[in-house]
Amino acid sequence: MKGSAMWSVFRYGVFRGCSKAALVGLVTIGLTTPAMTRADTVHLLALGDSLTQGYGLLEDEGFVPQLREWLTERGHDVRIVNGGVSGDTTAGGLSRVEWSLTPEIEGMIVTLGGNDLLRGIDPSVSRANIEGILQVAEAQDVDVLLIGMTAPGNYGADYKADFERIYPELAEGYGTLYLDNFFTGVLQDGEMPADVGNVMQSDGIHPNALGVKQVIEAVGPKVEDLIARIEG
């Protein structure tokens, strides 16, 4: 995120905790039993925080269900596991990625780092955590779409530069697909639109249903690339 798009990141992810039992109950969008799914169904995991989870939205308005609908409309047979946990950091994602990648998962969308920025976590720590996630995916032969973050300038130019290098450098190093910003589809010339209330919830942190739809206009084609890589 750039400019005014980053004003929300300082409060980003300050939400209720999530128990292990809740994590085990990750929401699955689509057909849920192997006996019911066709052999050509592509199985994806969306690993992230509240943006992935769909915080503050009705179940069918969140990122995962809207993404699945977008893909289905374009002829893709896909099942997406919602691995979004509100308030999660890159460390949280690393701690649960291995057991979240159940045997049928073929691809993973990774959207983590906003809460690291909120807490001012050392970029080297965030980098190591994201790299750990990519190493687990590589070991399990899971293709990845890595979605990046733009750091605010409040922590200084060095922090900003170090943090922003994490995603493109790791994407190149591990050969993953890459999108620079979750909010790319919402931004106008790199900034949040003047009528931000039309696309964001009242907390100024999370997109509303329309905002999610715009997010998916940018994320969706990248997920199609991920599916093509899996099927290729």
- Which single residue is written with the structure tokens 């100024």? 204
Residue 1: pLDDT above 90?
Answer: no
Structural domain total, the chain: 1
Residue 15: pLDDT above 70?
Answer: no
The answer to the question of residue 96 being in a domain is yes
- Give residue 191's pLDDT: 82
- Give residue 103's pLDDT: 97
If one compares 15 and 39, the residue with the highest pLDDT of the two is 39
The answer to the question of residue 207 being in a domain is yes
The answer to the question of residue 209 being in a domain is yes
For 71-86, what is each residue's pLDDT tens digit?
999 999 999 999 999 9
Residue 7: pLDDT above 90?
Answer: no
If one compares 59 and 8, the residue with the highest pLDDT of the two is 59
Domain encompassing residue 175: 3-25+40-231
- Give residue 140's pLDDT: 98
- Give residue 185's pLDDT: 93
Instruction: For the chain, give the mean pLDDT.
Output: 86
Contacts of 88 (CB under 8 A, 6+ apart): 13, 18, 48, 49, 50, 112, 115
Residue 36: pLDDT above 90?
Answer: no
How far, in Å, CA of 90 to CA of 82, rounded? 16
Give CA separation, 170 vs 20, 56, 91, 167, 192, in Å.
29, 31, 16, 5, 27
- Which single residue is written with the structure tokens 């689509």? 30
For 164-181, what is each residue's pLDDT tens digit?
999 999 999 999 999 999
The answer to the question of residue 35 being in a domain is no
Give CA separation, 164 vs 52, 96, 107, 120, in Å.
20, 24, 24, 13
- Which single residue is written with the structure tokens 């989870």? 53
How far, in Å, CA of 100 to CA of 193, rounded? 35
Indicate the pTM of the whole model.
0.82
C-beta neighbour count of 227 within 10 angstroms: 21
Give DSSP secondary structure letters for 84-130: E-TT--HHHHHHHHHHHS-TT--EEEEE--HHHHHHT--HHHHHHHH
The answer to the question of residue 34 being in a domain is no
Can you give the CATH number for the domain in which 74 is found? 3.40.50.1110
For 145, the 3-state DSSP assignment is strand
Active site residue 76: no
Return the amino acid letter for 133: I
- Give residue 22's pLDDT: 43
Catalytic residue among 60, 122, 124, 203: 203
The answer to the question of residue 186 being in a domain is yes
- Give residue 39's pLDDT: 55
The answer to the question of residue 30 being in a domain is no
Active site residue 19: no
If one compares 38 and 66, the residue with the highest pLDDT of the two is 66
Residue 17: pLDDT above 50?
Answer: no
Contacts of 82 (CB under 8 A, 6+ apart): 26, 27, 28, 29, 46, 52, 53, 54, 62, 64
Residue 4: pLDDT above 90?
Answer: no
The answer to the question of residue 190 being in a domain is yes
Catalytic residue among 49, 88, 126, 206: 206
For 179-193, what is each residue's pLDDT tens digit?
999 999 998 888 888
How far, in Å, CA of 106 to CA of 115, rounded? 26
For 50-64, what is each residue's pLDDT tens digit?
999 999 999 999 999
The answer to whether 54 and 61 are in contact (CB under 8 A) is yes
Catalytic residue among 8, 43, 50, 180: 50
